[in-house]
Structure 1
Amino acid sequence: MTERSKLYLYHIVEALEARNLPTELALLPFIESAYNPQALSVAKAAGMWQFIPGTGRSYNLKQNIFLDERRDVLASTNAALDYLAKLHGMFGDWRLALAAYNWGEGNVLRAIARNRKAGLPTDYLSLKIPKETRHYVPKLQAVKDIVAQPQKYGLTLPSIPDHPYFVTVTTARDIDVAVAAQLAGLSLDAFHALNPSFSKPIILGATQPQILLPFENAQMFEQGLHNYQGLLSSWTTYTVTKRERTTTLAAKIGVDPATLSTINKIPVGMRLKPGSTVLIPKVKAADDEDISAYIAENAVFALEPDVPDTRKMLIRVRRHETMAAFAKRHRIPVAQIQAWNHTKRTKLAPGQIVMLHVPTSQKPTLVKAKLRVRPLPPTAKAIKARAVKLNAKKPVVKHKAKVGPIKAPKAKAQSALPTRKIASN
Structure 2
Amino acid sequence: MKRLAPLTLALSLAYSAAQAGTFSSYDDASLQVGQQLMQSNGLLLRNGDDVWKRIREGYQLTEVDSELVRRHERMYSAKPEYLKRTLTRGQRYLFHIMNEVERRGMPTEIALLPLVESAFNPTAVSGAKAAGLWQFMPATGRHYGLEQTFWYDGRRDVLGATNAALDYLENLYAMFGDWNLALASYNWGEGNVSRALERNRAKGLPETFEAIRMPNETRNYVPKLLAVRNILAEPERFGLKLDKFDNRPYFVAVSTGKHMDIDVAAKLAGMSLDEFKALNPAFNRPIYAHKPGRQLLVPASKAELFEKNLAEYREPLLSWQVYTAQSGDNIDELAQRHGMSVERLRNVNGLASNSLAPGQPLLLAALSSQTASP
With the length of structure 2 as denominator, give the TM-score of the two structures. Answer: 0.72
Query: In structure 2, what is the Cα distance between the partners aligned to 1:156 and 1:104?
Result: 36
Please name the residue that 1:110 is paired with: 195
Unaligned runs of 5+ in 2: 1-85
Worse overlay, 170-179 or 78-87? 170-179
1:5-46 CA distances to partner (integer Å, 9 max, x unpaired)? 111111111101111111111011111111111111111111
Contact 1:33 / 1:47 at 8 angstroms: preserved in 2? yes
Measured at CA, do residues 176 and 144 of structure 1 come closer, stay the same or move farther in structure 2, by a change above 3 Å?
A: same
| 2:110 aligned with 1:25 | yes
Deviation, structure 1 residue 249:
5.3
Q: Secondary structure at the match of 2:364?
A: strand
Query: In structure 2, what is the Cα distance between the partners aligned to 1:16 and 1:354?
Result: 44
Aligned residue among 134, 154, 157 for 1:72: 157
Measured at CA, do residues 257 and 123 of structure 1 come closer, stay the same or move farther in structure 2, by a change above 3 Å?
A: same
Measured at CA, do residues 354 and 95 of structure 1 come closer, stay the same or move farther in structure 2, by a change above 3 Å?
A: closer
Aligned residue among 279, 283, 291 for 2:363: 279
Unaligned runs of 5+ in 1: 284-313, 316-352, 357-366, 368-425
Amino acid at match of 1:165: Y
Identical positions, percent: 47
Worse overlay, 263-272 or 168-177? 263-272
Query: In structure 1, what is the Cα distance between the partners aligned to 2:118 and 2:340?
Result: 38
Query: In structure 2, what is the Cα distance between the partners aligned to 1:140 and 1:89?
Result: 20
Q: Secondary structure at the match of 2:297?
A: strand
Q: Secondary structure at the match of 1:50?
A: coil
Contact 2:346 / 2:354 at 8 angstroms: preserved in 1? no
Query: In structure 2, what is the Cα distance between the partners aligned to 1:71 and 1:196?
Result: 6
Aligned residue among 146, 150, 157 for 2:242: 157
| 2:208 aligned with 1:123 | yes
Measured at CA, do residues 79 and 58 of structure 1 come closer, stay the same or move farther in structure 2, by a change above 3 Å?
A: same
| 2:272 aligned with 1:187 | yes
Please name the residue that 2:148 is paired with: 63
Deviation, structure 1 residue 175:
0.8
| 2:218 aligned with 1:143 | no
| 2:311 aligned with 1:229 | no
Amino acid at match of 1:131: N
Aligned residue among 260, 266, 284 for 1:199: 284
Deviation, structure 1 residue 241:
4.3
1:17-416 paired onto structure 2 within 5 Å: 17-206=102-291, 209-242=294-327, 244-247=329-332, 257-274=342-359, 276-283=360-367, 315=369, 353=370
Q: How many residues align?
A: 289
Deviation, structure 1 residue 262:
2.5
Measured at CA, do residues 205 and 127 of structure 1 come closer, stay the same or move farther in structure 2, by a change above 3 Å?
A: same
1:249-285 CA distances to partner (integer Å, 9 max, x unpaired)? 55787865444323112122433142x21101113xx
Measured at CA, do residues 243 and 24 of structure 1 come closer, stay the same or move farther in structure 2, by a change above 3 Å?
A: farther
Query: In structure 2, what is the Cα distance between the partners aligned to 1:89 and 1:355?
Result: 52
Query: In structure 1, what is the Cα distance between the partners aligned to 2:343 and 2:122?
Result: 29
Query: In structure 2, what is the Cα distance between the partners aligned to 1:49 and 1:355?
Result: 39
Contact 1:70 / 1:197 at 8 angstroms: preserved in 2? yes
Contact 1:234 / 1:281 at 8 angstroms: preserved in 2? yes
Measured at CA, do residues 186 and 269 of structure 1 come closer, stay the same or move farther in structure 2, by a change above 3 Å?
A: closer
Query: In structure 2, what is the Cα distance between the partners aligned to 1:272 and 1:266?
Result: 11
Q: Which is higher, the Rg of structure 1 or of structure 2?
A: 1
Contact 1:238 / 1:280 at 8 angstroms: preserved in 2? yes
1:95-138 CA distances to partner (integer Å, 9 max, x unpaired)? 11000001111111111122222222221111110111111111
1:226-256 CA distances to partner (integer Å, 9 max, x unpaired)? 1011111101111234475534655787865
Query: In structure 1, what is the Cα distance between the partners aligned to 2:286 and 2:292?
Result: 15
Provide the alpha-carbon RMSD of the alignment: 2.2
1:168-222 CA distances to partner (integer Å, 9 max, x unpaired)? 0011111111111111100011111111112211112245531111122111111
